[in-house]
Amino acid sequence: MFDIDKWQEIFNTIGKNKLRTLLTGFSVAWGIFMLVILLGSGYGLENGVKKEFEGDAVNYITVYSGVTSKAYKGMKPGRHIRFSNDDYDMLKDMENVDYTSTRNRVFRNNLLSYKNEYGTFDIFAISPDYRQVESIEMIDGRFLNKNDMDDYRKVVVLGRLVYEALFKDGQNSINEYVKISGVPFKVVGVYDDPGSDRDLLRVYIPIFTAQRVFNMGDLIRSVHFNIEGGTVAESQKVIEEAKNMLSAVHKFDPEDRRAVYVYNSIENYQQYMSLFAGIRIFIWIIGAGTIISGIVGVSNIMMIVVKERTKEIGIRKALGATPFSIVSLILQESILITAVAGYIGLVIGVGLLELVSMYLPAVDYFANPEINMNVALTATALLIVAGAFAGYVPARKASSVKPVIALRDE
């Protein structure tokens, strides 16, 4: 039952010791505030890194051709390794690989034009499965397909920013012809990409067509492997197998890291996620330490309160007060200070994160600092429970005081 007299007494005690109560509450509020800010900043870093990964899949491996740095089977170091269409045909049937694609960058004149509109953009010659590497979303038309490759079609897919630069006022681009380095290519699609604007300033053309039109022979700069739901161990197995197959053809040491360069997005992504898991644990340790220091402060203050009110407690017991009523009085005061201070710290911390998220300009690797409200409320609830324990020790001491001894206290 709600005892109004007891609460009036608690508020009266708090009112007589405003500064002491304020400082105690501040230590608790500061602990929750710092925990919220640290967790929010950690999630901001994690969100920023995830945003950087949005433009690409997180389950692919890229193998680039390089230059040998070791002698191997009578072959001298310093040889350029050059991948060809035959290498692509050999690698695309590897086990545990869901998609295999190629990519060449066209470094010739990168001028694109449509009627009187011109622009310089990145031109990539790819195979259709490359769509699995980039998080490409078609907003008009289609992506490149196998028939485009087999028939050496002069077709192109435009990034959204390329489309907006060449086709004004929402003009239809599908089946129109744009010139790439002076060669007409038919537009078959326009794509969007959740990554950076850099990815939207690209155009994609079939690799076989580019090899013919731009005199590339049968050379391929890189090969990409997609592993749906693959683990780091599986990705490393694919890399080892690909290196061994390429080594047998091009005569280089499979352990020569300069002969072929490998980018493993699966491993990189898992490393980032493991790093953030470690950061969250570290943040919780720091935050918990800060909160515990506040709880210790509450406990110390309650010990002082008991000491100051020893005679009063003795009189209460002499008049028939039960140990439970003494304990509940001290506990309620402790919980009140902890709960109010914790809630204030929580509100200020969450409010600050909202302001930062709203007005902070977009930066690399940091975006939308936030905190899971369930986590924040759970931390506050644990803080209140801890506050109850902090008050319990002095409360038990108060309840065990003998009235005769308490009345002698000066």
Question: What would the pLDDT profile of 15-46 be if each residue is shown by its tens digit?
Answer: 777 777 787 778 778 877 887 888 787 777 77
| pLDDT per position as a tens digit, 384-403 | 777 777 667 766 766 666 66
* Residues, the chain: 410
Q: Which two tokens stand for residue 249?
A: 């053809």
Ramachandran sector of residue 180 (left: φ over 0; alpha: ψ -120 to 50; beta: rest): beta
Give alpha helix (H) positions in 214-322.
232-250, 265-308, 310-318
Q: Helices 323-359 and 310-318 sit at what angle, rounded to 10 degrees?
A: 130
Q: List b or e across 131-148, with b for residues whose CB sees 16 or more CB atoms inside 10 angstroms.
A: bbbbbbeeebbebbeeeb
Q: Which element (helix H / strand E) includes 119? A: strand 117-120
Please report the pLDDT score of residue 1 as a whole number. Answer: 46
* Cα maximum dimension of the chain: 105
What pLDDT score does 124 carry?
93
Tokens in use for 338? Answer: 């902890």
**pLDDT one digit per residue (tens) for the chain, 410 residues:** 456 766 776 677 677 777 777 877 787 788 778 878 887 877 777 777 666 665 566 778 889 988 999 888 888 889 999 999 999 889 888 887 888 899 898 877 788 999 889 899 999 999 998 887 777 889 999 999 999 999 999 999 999 999 999 998 778 999 999 999 889 999 999 998 776 677 888 999 999 999 999 888 888 989 988 887 778 888 888 888 899 999 999 999 988 889 998 988 888 878 777 877 787 787 777 767 766 776 777 677 767 766 666 666 666 666 666 767 777 777 777 778 778 888 888 888 888 888 877 777 666 666 667 776 777 777 777 777 777 776 677 667 666 666 655 555 55
pLDDT at 323: 67
Cα distance between residue 184 and residue 3, in whole Å: 87
Residue 105's contacts (CB-CB under 8 Å, 6 or more residues apart) are: 122, 123, 124, 125, 221
Residue type, position 9, single letter? E
Which residue type sits at 262?
Answer: V
120's CB contacts (< 8 A; 6+ apart) are 110, 111, 112
Residue 84, amino acid: S
Question: pTM of the entire structure?
Answer: 0.65
C-alpha distances (whole Å) from 217 to each of 63, 109, 404 are 20, 18, 104
Read off the pLDDT of residues 252-301 as tens digits, 9 standing for 90 and up: 998 888 999 898 888 887 877 787 778 778 777 776 776 677 677 767 77
Pairing mode, if any, of strands 60-65 and 260-264? antiparallel
Amino acid identity, position 90 = M
